[in-house]
Chains A and B, each alone.
Chain A
């Protein structure tokens, strides 16, 4: 146990130098990207905002079912199969009634893997819709995988829009990730007031241009919609003249004529054509600009607009106009989103946490080191050297992998300092016992190392198991704790079995002739 070959010493030195280098690289800047690595500070240390958004997929599901029922109707009509009463029920079923002779034929269409009306997922061995047939009543429901597929595609669209909106605001290195199949995690480092972002992400930004009906009675083709300022309710046509999809640009602008802030927009070719046609026919009518179910404004069309450019007037400040333009540029979300979890830490608190954490680390470190010297003298010094290097290794590895350091992560480092000496204590105590029975002190040291090994490995595995489970099941800052605790165990074993053992061996060889007491 106490013999070290030159190769092994070289290896230990090399690893020590590399990891110490990475530790120090946190405090310097290098030109080279490969070696210039830094530990990431978690949001709780650098300040910032963590938002968890959940997509409310209800409208997406309803839209899918409505489209599907229309497709079914058309397909079966094409095939001369008569059905009646096709509708979407409140509990998300598509139901219809067929003639009794054609039940089998219709059923076959839905169970045909080649047919596009009910797509088949080869991977999951499942259709998009589950079919239930009772006599001549057909009931279709999205299957488990059909629903997942729908949610995933809505999530894909939503994350793209979220990314665009966050990027447009221009925050510092945002982190946007999928969580499950209907959630998006947004991390915004350095942002201490997420109000604006929350407002932007909370809006679906579904924009439509629709004419206001001349009659005030609600009928099949119209619906009552409230103005945003709540002053008026208008009867608006359901027919959409133009939607946000046709916009290619939107910018806030000052209207020189009446000194108002407006949002000017540019349409794509299709949009320009439709807008031109509609405004030609609708001169004199009021055109409502509807955003997320509220009318922003409803100006009277004075002349046909054929240029493909226009402006939205409304009660805007420059800020609200800027945000509306941003929302229109980035496009509409497929479904509304709710913020279901928010954690924001101000930069001051983050800085205070770092200071407190480092102060606690220094105090803890000094206490442990003093205690070890008091208890073991020269061997305390050896254990402490291993402990200091252990700290460098731990920070070095975290830097190398650019891990995220959180406040509980710092606590994990401090705890590692307290627990790391355990292995050396086990060894030293064992050596003491072995020396009691063994006259040859080199043999005693050797067997002290050998016999304490199982206990050390056992003791570290148990803590490692706890850290490992925490890593997979914990979240956010807690994950940071499990990382430092887990990595700390590995570096502890390295520093004890390589550094401390090497130093012990060197000390022993130098004092061969003298009686050594631990």
Chain B
């Protein structure tokens, strides 16, 4: 069997450099531009509206909302042609807010619209949700760290964790650069990415470990390449089936799941790439050898 079909290891350096650059760009954007938080994390009100009267459009909506004293009102199309998403940050919690808005809208636009969804999150709750989301991501990373720590030698752990951070940072960086909305479901997507990235790395690492014992004479640089090639068809098939599922959510699962599935699509792509080009070069960097895996084996 040809175990060395593709020379992945020839490009370790090039891709490491590219990754480092992308990570830096992502961090730069996360730091200076930040994330576009949705109402879950920023607080405020979101209204999804469907116009049954075809005369209603963005400018007439903007006009209607302009003198309701709601502060900055963002209005955009949402999926289907006559669906709109209206967002604003109004801090005081007026219980009649939605009713007042409905009355005003009806006065200006007539009754040719339908409110399909309302989300109103107070500042206290949004701060808690953000904190909860960060805790969840930290807990997931911590749990993965722990799992890797009991499961592998430290060189492997560092490789897997580096790949993990790479994937999470790039995904979030992407959301920052393109100002995509970050809400609760993005946190769920990131946790799933964490799981997937780990899963992909661990499968290759398992093979590296097995091969270290099988081919004592082969250097780690080539050994990683053999292992990547041996697991390559699995890596590709699983990525493809997962992406097929995610793409069908993205295209057909409705507007609400768009950001969520996009984050996961990115995560799967980054995760697959990083298992090969981040996790493995780190094993090379630490000069992992037969000795690394043999001294901790009890049997």
Contacts and interface: CB of A to CB of B under 8 A. Distances in A.
Interface in A386-401: none
B280 to A, nearest CB: 16
Given A338-B93, A466-B191, A411 B114 contact: no
A469 B138 CA distance: 10
B293 to A, nearest CB: 13
Contacts of A342: 118-121
Interface in B108-146: 114-122, 124-125, 129, 132, 135-136, 139-140, 143-144
Contacts of B114: 346, 348
A364 B202 contact: no
A341 B253 contact: no
Given A199-B95, A346-B116, A411 B125 contact: no
Nearest to A199: B95
Given A341-B121, A353-B256, A474 B143 contact: no
A332 interface: no
A478 B244 contact: no
A419 B241 contact: yes
A296 to B, nearest CB: 19
Given A199-B95, A342-B120, A367 B244 contact: yes
B289 interface: no
A462 B253 CA distance: 26
Contacts of B242: 415, 418-419, 422
B184 A349 contact: no
Interface string A456-476: 001111111111111001111
Given A407-B256, A425-B234, A461-B147, A371 B240 contact: yes
Contact of B233 (A360, A371, A422, A429): A429
A231 interface: no
Contacts of A454: 206
Contact of A408 (B135, B144, B257): B257
B248 interface: yes
Interface string B24-55: 00000000000000000000000010100000
Given A411-B260, A419-B241, A466-B191, A458 B136 contact: no
Interface in B237-293: 237-238, 240-249, 251-254, 256-257, 260-261, 264
A198 interface: yes
A364 B122 contact: no
B189 to A, nearest CB: 9
A364 B195 contact: no
A474 B187 CA distance: 9
A195 interface: yes
A426 interface: yes
B188 A482 contact: yes
Contact of A360 (B135, B231, B243, B252): B252
B226 to A, nearest CB: 12
B151 interface: yes
Given A425-B238, A466-B191, A478 B184 contact: yes
A415 B195 contact: no
Contact of B147 (A339, A465, A474): A465
A343 interface: yes
A462 B148 CA distance: 9
Contacts of B194: 466
Most buried by A among B118, B198, B253: B253
A415 B248 CA distance: 10
A109 B99 CA distance: 55
A470 B192 CA distance: 9
B107 to A, nearest CB: 17
Contacts of B124: 54, 340
Most buried by A among B48, B187, B192: B192
Contacts of B135: 473
Most buried by A among B121, B140, B231: B140
Contacts of B196: 419, 462-463
A255 B140 CA distance: 65
A340 B122 contact: yes
Nearest to B242: A418
Nearest to A372: B241
Q: How large is the interface on A (under 10, 10 to 19, 20 to 34, 35 or more residues)?
A: 35 or more
B261 A467 contact: no
B98 interface: yes
Contacts of A460: 199
Contacts of B57: none
Interface in A347-383: 348-349, 352-353, 356-357, 359-361, 363-364, 367-368, 371-372, 375
B203 interface: yes
A515 to B, nearest CB: 17
Nearest to A489: B195
Given A458-B206, A478-B184, A367 B191 contact: no
B1 A436 contact: yes
Contact of A364 (B147, B191, B200, B245): B245
B255 to A, nearest CB: 8
A465 B244 contact: no
A478 B187 contact: yes
A47 to B, nearest CB: 9
Contacts of A52: 125
B16 interface: no
A336 to B, nearest CB: 11
B95 A202 contact: yes
Contacts of A469: 136, 139-140, 143, 191
Contact of A466 (B1, B192, B238): B192
A367 B143 CA distance: 33
A131 to B, nearest CB: 32
A349 B95 CA distance: 23
A363 B231 CA distance: 28
Contact of B245 (A417, A461, A475): A417
B155 interface: no
Given A357-B253, A364-B248, A341 B202 contact: no
Given A341-B125, A425-B237, A462-B195, A474 B188 contact: yes
A276 interface: no
Contact of B188 (A195, A426, A459, A478): A478
Nearest to B206: A455
Nearest to B253: A360
A433 B233 CA distance: 11
13 contacts: A344-B117, A364-B244, A367-B248, A368-B241, A368-B244, A415-B249, A419-B245, A454-B206, A460-B199, A462-B199, A463-B192, A463-B196, A466-B192
Q: Identify the 4 closest CB pairs spanning chains A and B, nearest first.
A: A418-B245, A466-B195, A356-B254, A364-B248
Given A360-B249, A363-B252, A421-B237, 12 more contacts: A360-B251, A360-B257, A364-B249, A371-B237, A411-B249, A414-B249, A458-B202, A462-B202, A463-B196, A466-B195, A473-B135, A475-B132
